[in-house]
Amino acid sequence: MHSDSRFREGRLVSSRKSKRGKKTMGRGARRLMFAAGLALLGALFLNSHLRADEPPAAAPAPAAEAPAPAATPPVAAAPLPSYFSSTSADPNKPSWPDQTGGSAGAWATPAGDGKGDTPGTLAAGDLYDRIAHNLFSVNMVWTMVTGFLVMFMQAGFMYVETGLCRAKNAAHTSAMNFMIYPLGCFAFWAYGFALGWGNWWNGPVPPGWYASLGPGLSVLNHGWGLGAAVDSTGAATGAFTYGLIGLKGWFLSPEVSDVSVLGIFFFMMVFMDTTATIPTGAMAERWAWKNFCLYGLWVALPYCIYANWLWGGGFMAQGGINWGLGHGAVDFAGSGVVHGMGGIIGLAGAMVIGPRIGKYINGKPQAIPGHDVPMVVLGTFILAFGWFGFNPGSTLAGTDLRISFIVVNTMLASVTGALGALVALYIKGLKPDPTMLCNGMLAGLVAITAPSAFVDPWGAAVLGGVAGILVVYSVFFLEAHGVDDPVGAISVHGVNGLWGVLSVGIFATGQYGAGWNGVVRPDMVAKYGSDGVRGILYGDAGQLVMQGIDCVVLTVFAFSMAYAWFKISDLITPIRVSKETELEGLDIPEMGTLAYPDFPIHTGTKQLAG
């Protein structure tokens, strides 16, 4: 996944610098001149250009007397290795799924092809197999390690949400942040991955594209949609004009038991867990535990369906091909797919569950401070650290050197987000509340997630600063309109998730993403040299229109699905705890344990006395 989970080829140029003495420098200069001379001679030879004033080394026979050379038959282009074309030499013995990675090139040590590792005994194709295998390996390690960082973000969410809630609910809030991981993971394994990525292979891709994590991803090739595509023989290809859902990979069945598939499964799962966590903050301090558990098993449904539409080859990604709107909906690392979805689900949940007791007196909102500000700050730093896995990891390729841009853009947006929140607080005549500054940093991170690979650093700084301002005004706006969000999750993730999606259509420069979602427009190539993802500031108003459509689709789909779910689940088991439990605090009645048993949090109740 970067946004459409596709890796673009790049070239690695390495340089080495050394300090030498004059004698060494002289020898190095001569070597450099010699190498340059050889390169020049090679270029001249390859281009068949000879200087007219250079006499030949030996007098050749006159051209008229030389026999005419026999016509050389054209040489057929060598076929691509099977791990790039994803075709099996023997259709009756398919190479994928591949549980060891042995069909993706050849290991260098020990050599999986039995040819040894002595360079002199290996042909060019053998060396290429080893190089390609290492490429896939580098990408896999990169994706795994960045996925580990994203998984660790769960600790950051727990600290932020728990610190912003009252001490009497700390065990309950932290437990929700903990259990959403196993609940969400189970649902993703059972059905979510199949819905979201079951037909990933048949999504629109650039010319010359190959899967960065290996050819085994070709087994994700079954889904459902409108307008089934057929080949020249009339057989269905598995692609659709308007892809809707995937249908392969339930419970990671043996038919998808491949190293590449499991790699993308892990990375996408930890992303979904971020979405699943966000509503636990918006609905904190009154959400009944049993209803929360049902939600944890449900949340993969809306997430993975919508993720399919953008990241699984679905109809939103196809907007460029079908409707001529830019490169279709583009969301590199999930401002919309992950954060917007979570924030809008949280909005629906907060509206259904209602505000906390005491939040509004005579219709006027009251401040309910959290119990641990340093905990919030620590959680924010953990999340900011994890974001360096979230965004650059979405290349799914450690060999994609654009990761340096993504890292710097992520960092700049986070700091300008905090600064923007500070400015907004001063404009409103308020003091610099540390919790609001933390939300400003998180808002900047959410906003840069979609455009992180496509914008210049100045664009990242601007859109991050706007996000920091937006989050402050959004928090007060929602609070004034009866939406009680104890941690500001709706404003951080929902509002700024939408802003991040929209900003792709404004600030994307066109330097990256050539052929994204299969879109290559000859007029753009002629004008700019390549057809990368670009926003309205750089000549593509259609991209902004498509991003706006994406925002509308996301908002309507996520809100309607979540609102209906919370209403229905409330009929199964109450969504909200009783008044007595809420006043007491949810720790003992719901969880059976206090977060802080050694501190006088309660004044004495029948639960404690019993």
Query: pLDDT tens for residues 142-201?
Result: 999 999 999 999 999 999 999 999 999 999 999 999 999 999 999 999 999 999 999 999
DSSP one-letter string for 147-184 = HHHHHHHHHHHHHHHHHHS-GGGHHHHHHHHHHHHHHH
d(CA 507, CA 529) in angstroms, rounded, equals: 19
Per-residue confidence band for 60, with pLDDT thresholds at 50, 70 and 90: very low
DSSP 438: H
Contact present, 316 and 501 (Cβ < 8 Å): no
Burial 351-362 (b: 16+ CB within 10 A, else e): bbbbbbeebeee
Please indicate, yes or no, if residue 263 is contained in any of the structural domains.
yes
pLDDT at 8 over 60: no
103 Cβ contact list (under 8 Å, min separation 6):
82, 83, 95, 96, 215, 216
Please indicate, yes or no, if residue 132 is contained in any of the structural domains.
no
What average pLDDT score do residues 426-448 get?
Answer: 98
Residue with tokens 């190539």: 525
Element (H, E) at 239: strand 236-246
Q: What is the pLDDT of residue 317?
A: 97
DSSP 490: I
Please indicate, yes or no, if residue 602 is contained in any of the structural domains.
no
- What's the CATH number where 468 sits? 1.10.3430.10
What average pLDDT score do residues 341-359 get?
Answer: 98
d(CA 329, CA 323) in angstroms, rounded, equals: 11
Residue with tokens 């699943």: 276
- Max mean pLDDT among 63-72, 229-238, 514-523 falls in 514-523
Per-residue confidence band for 206, with pLDDT thresholds at 50, 70 and 90: confident
pLDDT at 329 over 70: yes
Neighbours of 476 (CB within 10 A): 14
124 Cβ contact list (under 8 Å, min separation 6):
none
Q: What is the pLDDT of residue 117?
A: 73
Per-residue confidence band for 121, with pLDDT thresholds at 50, 70 and 90: confident
Q: What is the pLDDT of residues 563-600, one digit of tens each?
A: 999 999 999 999 999 999 999 999 999 999 999 998 87
Please indicate, yes or no, if residue 221 is contained in any of the structural domains.
yes
C-alpha triplet 438, 432, 276: angle, nearest 5°: 20
Q: What is the pLDDT of residue 69?
A: 56
**Overall residue count recorded for the chain in this entry:** 610
| Burial of residue 345 (number of CB atoms within 10 Å: 0-12, 13-18, 19+) | buried
DSSP one-letter string for 325-358 = -BTBS--SS-IIIIIIHHHHHHHHHHHHH-PPTT
Q: What is the pLDDT of residue 63?
A: 46
Contact present, 541 and 325 (Cβ < 8 Å): no
Q: What is the pLDDT of residue 231?
A: 85
Per-residue confidence band for 120, with pLDDT thresholds at 50, 70 and 90: confident
d(CA 63, CA 77) in angstroms, rounded, equals: 32
pLDDT at 337 over 60: yes
Q: Examine residue 110 and say whether the peptide bond preceding it is cis (omega within 30 degrees of 0).
A: yes
More confident residue, 236 or 494: 494
Q: What is the pLDDT of residue 100?
A: 64
Please indicate, yes or no, if residue 410 is contained in any of the structural domains.
yes
d(CA 256, CA 140) in angstroms, rounded, equals: 17
Please indicate, yes or no, if residue 64 is contained in any of the structural domains.
no
Please indicate, yes or no, if residue 102 is contained in any of the structural domains.
no
Please indicate, yes or no, if residue 126 is contained in any of the structural domains.
no
Q: What is the pLDDT of residue 116?
A: 75
Per-residue confidence band for 101, with pLDDT thresholds at 50, 70 and 90: confident
Per-residue confidence band for 610, with pLDDT thresholds at 50, 70 and 90: very low
> Domain limits at 196?
147-591
Q: How far apart are the first and last CA of the chain?
A: 53
For all residues of the chain together, what is the average pLDDT? 87
Q: What is the pLDDT of residue 74?
A: 63
| Number of domain units in the chain | 1
Per-residue confidence band for 128, with pLDDT thresholds at 50, 70 and 90: confident
Per-residue confidence band for 222, with pLDDT thresholds at 50, 70 and 90: very high
In this prediction the pTM is: 0.84
